[in-house]
Amino acid sequence: MSGSHEQMSKLDMKKDAPKLSQVQLDYMKIIEQQNMERVRKLAKTRRNNILTASLLGVGVISIYAYSILSVKQEKFLDEID
């Protein structure tokens, strides 16, 4: 097992359904629903994270641009010479 990545074979519902009990099928449906809910939550979290990062980036860029423009407008260094 060291170094090899073994995966279980995928379940073929048409071929393997007769081998599974109703309890196992119901459990599979519950797990699938929980997984879909987890995926929805992760997608929402990712969207919120992207929005937050975008807003922070825009804020940083705007503060930087304002600082650069305000320094360019200052004339006190020209008055010294």
Record the pTM: 0.57
- Kindly report the average pLDDT of the chain as a whole number: 83
**Vertex 37 angle, CA 20 and 5, to 5°:** 60
Confidence at residue 8, expressed as pLDDT on a 0 to 100 scale: 65
Does some domain include residue 81?
A: no
Does some domain include residue 8?
A: no
Does some domain include residue 11?
A: no
Domain of residue 51, residue span: 21-71
The CB-side HSE value for 43 (13 A sphere, CA atoms) comes to 6
Name the domain count of the chain: 1
Does some domain include residue 48?
A: yes
Q: What is the pLDDT of residues 17-76, one digit of tens each?
A: 677 788 888 888 999 999 999 999 999 999 999 999 999 999 999 999 998 888 776 665
pLDDT of 6 over the 90 cut: no
Does some domain include residue 38?
A: yes
Q: How far apart are CA 81 and CA 79, in angstroms?
A: 6
Q: Determine the distance from the C-alpha atom of residue 15 to the mean position of all C-alpha atoms in its chain, rounded to a whole number.
A: 36
pLDDT band at 81 (very low <50, low <70, confident <90, very high): low
Q: How far apart are CA 15 and CA 8, in angstroms?
A: 16
Does some domain include residue 6?
A: no
